[in-house]
Amino acid sequence: MIHSERLTRTFLALTAIDSETYHERAMADHLKECLTALGLSVEEDGVGELLREESGNTEPHPAGNLIARLPGTLPGDPILFCSHMDTVKPGVGKKAILHEDGTITSSGDTVLGADDAAGLAEILEMLTVLVEEDLPHRDLEIVFPVAEELFTRGSKNLDYSKLRAKDAYILDLSGPVGAAAWAAPSILAFEAVIHGKSAHAGFAPETGVHAVRIAADAIARIDNGHVDENTTVNVATIHGGILRNVVPDEVVVTGEARSLDHDRAEQELEKIGVIFREAAEALGGTVDYTTFECDHAYRTPPDAPVVRRFQRACEELGFEPVLQNTFGGSDNNRFALHGIQGIVLACAMNDVHSTAEWTSVSELTKAAEIILKIATLEDF
Q: Which DSSP category does 121 fall into?
A: H
Nearest by Cα to 279 from 337, 235, 338, 334? 235
Q: How far apart are CA 11 and CA 213, in angstroms?
A: 50
Q: 190: which residues sit within 8 A by CB, 6+ positions away?
A: 254, 255, 256, 257, 269, 272, 273, 289, 290, 291
Mean pLDDT score, 105-130: 98
- pLDDT for 283: 97
* Domains of the chain, each with CATH number or no CATH: 4-184+297-376 (3.40.630.10), 186-295 (3.30.70.360)
Mean pLDDT score, 211-239: 97
Q: How far apart are CA 344 and CA 168, in angstroms?
A: 8
Q: How far apart are CA 147 and CA 152, in angstroms?
A: 6
Q: 380 falls in which pLDDT band (50, 70, 90)?
A: low
Nearest by Cα to 380 from 341, 344, 346? 341
pLDDT in tens, 160-174: 999 999 999 999 999
Q: 114: which residues sit within 8 A by CB, 6+ positions away?
A: 11, 15, 104, 348, 349, 350, 352, 357, 358, 359
Indicate if the pLDDT at residue 68 is higher than 90: yes
Indicate if the pLDDT at residue 197 is higher than 70: yes
Mean pLDDT score, 269-294: 98
Residue 4 φ then ψ, to 5°: -60, -40
Catalytic residues: 86, 148
**Torsion region of 80: left, alpha or beta (phi above 0 gives left; psi -120 to 50 gives alpha):** beta
Q: How far apart are CA 309 and CA 343, in angstroms?
A: 11
- pLDDT for 131: 98
> For residues 150, 152, 157 and 158, what is the CA-based torsion angle, rounded to 10 degrees?
140
Q: Are 313 and 370 in contact (CB under 8 A)?
A: yes
Q: Are 5 and 39 in contact (CB under 8 A)?
A: no
Q: 58: which residues sit within 8 A by CB, 6+ positions away?
A: none
Residue 7 φ then ψ, to 5°: -60, -40
- Cβ burial of 259 (10 Å; 0-12, 13-18, 19+) is buried
Mean pLDDT score, 135-140: 97
Nearest by Cα to 296 from 331, 269, 334? 334
Q: How far apart are CA 365 and CA 370, in angstroms?
A: 9
In the chain, what percentage of residues exceed pLDDT 90?
97
Mean pLDDT score, 246-266: 98
Bridge partners, residue 20, by sequence: 87
Q: 149: which residues sit within 8 A by CB, 6+ positions away?
A: 21, 84, 86, 87, 88
What is the bridge-based pairing of β-strands 225-228 and 186-195? unpaired
- pLDDT for 379: 74
Q: 53 falls in which pLDDT band (50, 70, 90)?
A: confident
Q: 54 falls in which pLDDT band (50, 70, 90)?
A: confident
Q: Are 296 and 371 in contact (CB under 8 A)?
A: no
CA angle in degrees (0–180, nearest 5) for 271-186-57: 110
